[in-house]
Amino acid sequence: RVELVGCCNRQGSLAAQITLAEQGVLPGDSAKIKIMVANGGNQRNKTHRQELGLWQQISFRSLYRGDMKSFDRKVVRTAVRNRQSKVDHGNQQLEFPIPPTLPPTSTTDTGLVTVSYFFKLDLGVGTLELIVPVVVGRHELPGDEKQ
């Protein structure tokens, strides 16, 4: 659960909360998400266009040849899927489809390439946004043996 309270702009105040039913999801399934928005602004500013997206973050790490303690890191963030809707004061329940071809979240941060995911809720008001990490797992493949 992540909460954000934005306060005191010309339109009033805005509070938002995003809750995931599960911290982990599988490719091809749907994530159950609850969004709560409490808009304290005046009546003509009650409704905002929001965008909820699933984002993939890939971190690339490279070591320098002569110095094994020095490394460079590059991070790339890409929207995997976005969904727009209008939201006003109240709660909204969503089922967000997870693409079936996503690679799983990396289990360690020590490799040369690591993959992670997060949901980002852009509230459409200035720079107010909520970010919630999520773990994308993988289906067990035929022939996988439990150890």
pTM over 0.75: yes
**Per-residue pLDDT tens over the stretch 127-141:** 778 888 999 998 776
Sorted by sequence, the CB contacts under 8 Å of residue 142 that are 6+ apart come out as: none
Q: What is the distance between the alpha carbons of residues 28 and 13, in angstroms, rounded to a whole number?
A: 37
Tell me the pLDDT band of 3, cut-offs 50, 70 and 90: low
Structure tokens at 100: 């079936």
Closest CA to 32 of 22, 42, 43: 22
Q: Do the Cβ atoms of 89 and 45 come closer than 8 Å?
A: no
**Per-residue pLDDT tens over the stretch 74-107:** 899 999 988 876 655 678 888 999 999 999 999 8
| Domains of the chain, CATH where assigned | 2-132 (2.60.40.640)
pLDDT > 80? residue 142: no
Q: Which residue has the higher pLDDT, 31 or 51?
A: 31
Q: Which residue has the higher pLDDT, 1 or 17?
A: 17
